[in-house]
Amino acid sequence: MFERAEVRVDLERITANIKHFKELSGTPVMAVVKADAYGHGLVPVAKAALDAGASSLGVALLEEAITLRQAGITAPILAWLVPPGSDYKLAVDNHIELAASSIKALEEIGAVKSEFRPKVHLEVDTGMTRGGFLDEWGKIDGHHVANVDVVGIFSHFARADEPEEKQNQLQLNRFKEMVATVESFGYTNIVRHLSNSAATLKDQDSRFDLVRVGIAMYGLSPDVKTLGDSASLGLKPAMQLRAKLHLVKTVPANSPVGYGATAYTTAETKLGVVAMGYADGIPRIAQGAGVFIDGKRAPIIGRVSMDQFVVDLGAESTATTGDWVIIFGDGATGEYTADDWGAASGSINYEIVTRIGPRVPRIYAPHVY
């Protein structure tokens, strides 16, 4: 047993979040499990989401979809970042639905020789100016889709986490226009999907036939500043990250700490060395976060190293070498949260949970909190 650090995931909380979104939206839910299920573990989370009532799974990469199939998952899967030149036959043979955002992709998918007919979701650019058909939209004709089944059309909001922004309505209007174009070609029974987590929470008009729930299914707010925290949104964070104190020692005042001596102790204190670093996904630039032990927070002092970082436990701390500390959790007892770590790193909670590296095992346990 390797006891250095671990991610503890409560799958029951993911189940609760999926059920919450099914009830809220009144539509089928696509559980987005890309990026190793936002760091929570691809296969266990996918199975939990489907057990909770998710109708389908969404991934970015073909290899993610194949991993799910190899794990015995038979539910519909959409992979939306599979560029031309990819092994489209492998996707089609495994009943993986593909996003197409270019004529070249449509042509290559349509050229697949398989006993199964390719299923395609047309990705359209409604204003994010990232993925999706834009200048080629008016150039698609019958022969481009002759050998595929167009089963869906979708786009992605750029500012759904800012509900009052006019761009959201502009994108919604543009999506409706592009849907109407597809329907005029005879595709009147396709799945329309636009809502991400934030839009599902705040924009009833954009839910259409399916909602894609990503960060929020893991119990995290799409944006704490504009939408509120997890608790205010009725979400239950599923991940807790903890690690062991590799060493606890008392040091005198004015002691330099870490590479570059960027910090000094201000008084005699106890320092704790946490056995995680930026190789595990702890942001090197993080300042203002730390760990939770003995009912209180202990902030980072000095720079985060590759495999470890130092926290100021305080002179009166009773922490000892080998104790577990919580790096982040749901915040209910005062511990730091993924939101706190995101703010301390000039980033967001998405990055904090997805960047935790493979050296840190994922442990699945009910009632983590």
pLDDT in tens, 171-191: 999 999 999 999 998 998 999
CATH of domain 56-209: 3.20.20.10
Q: Residue 125 to residues 71, 158, 316, 347: CA-CA distances in angstroms? A: 33, 11, 57, 26
The predicted model gives 261-267 an average pLDDT of 97
What's the pLDDT score for residue 367? 75
The predicted model gives 286-300 an average pLDDT of 96
Indicate whether 227 pLDDT > 70. Answer: yes
Q: Can you tell me whether residue 153 is helix, strand or coil?
A: strand
Contact predicate 96/77, CB 8 Å: yes
What's the pLDDT score for residue 366? 81
The pTM assigned to this predicted structure is 0.96
What's the pLDDT score for residue 118? 98
pLDDT in tens, 121-145: 999 999 999 999 999 999 999 899 9
What's the pLDDT score for residue 273? 98
What's the pLDDT score for residue 254? 98
Which positions ≥6 away from 78 have C-beta within 8 Å?
A: 30, 56, 57, 58, 59, 96, 97, 98, 99, 121, 152
Domain residue extents for the chain: 56-209, 239-364
Q: Domain 239-364: give its CATH architecture.
A: Beta Barrel (2.40)
Strand partners, 263: 257
Nearest to 168 by CA among 216, 137, 128, 212: 128
Give the β-pairing of 296-299 and 290-293: antiparallel
What's the pLDDT score for residue 1? 61
Indicate whether 326 pLDDT > 90. Answer: yes
The predicted model gives 26-44 an average pLDDT of 98
What's the pLDDT score for residue 39? 98
What average pLDDT does the structure give for the chain?
A: 97
Tell me the backbone φ, ψ of residue 287, rounded to 5 degrees. -140, 135
Q: How confident is the model at residue 368 (pLDDT cuts 50, 70, 90)?
A: confident
pLDDT in tens, 151-166: 999 999 999 999 999 9
Indicate whether 302 pLDDT > 80. Answer: yes
Strand partners, 249: 271
Active site residues: 34, 259
